Amino acid sequence: MDRDPLPHPDHRGVNTELLSYYDAIEQASCDMLAAAKAGDWDAVVKLEGACVLLISQLKHAARTLPLDQDSARAKARIMQRILVNDAEIRHLAEPWLQDLDDMLGGRRKTVH
């Protein structure tokens, strides 16, 4: 009776682990968008720091844990949502960044 003494690796757990990083980054981007909409730029900056840490952890994990085709499609959908959130945050930040640039450049904001 030929039996394989070791079970074959189950890659579903690997894909779940990697996708959990993408999900966490997406959630942070949603939280950043909510903070930006509320004008809470300090919270946006803090959440951005959390994203940087998650991305670093993801990069480390992704070196050894490949995604299967279904997980790669899920990753692409998550990344699209993150990019939409990022674009909206940038749009909301433009006036704030212009005011900051004006202050740093020594220009006073003129009200017409």
Q: What is the pLDDT of residues 54-107, one digit of tens each?
A: 999 999 988 888 888 999 999 999 999 999 999 999 999 887 666 667 778 766
pTM of the model: 0.72
The domain limits of the chain are 12-104
* pLDDT value for 91: 92
CATH superfamily of domain region 12-104: Flagellar protein flit. (1.20.58.380)
DSSP-derived 3-state class of residue 6:
coil
pLDDT, tens digit, for every residue of 20-47?
A: 999 999 999 999 999 999 999 999 999 9
Residue 6's pLDDT band, with cuts at 50, 70 and 90, is very low
Residue 73: per-residue pLDDT = 94
pLDDT number for residue 94: 84
Instruction: Give whole-number Cα distances, 43 to 7, 73, 106, in Å.
Output: 46, 31, 26
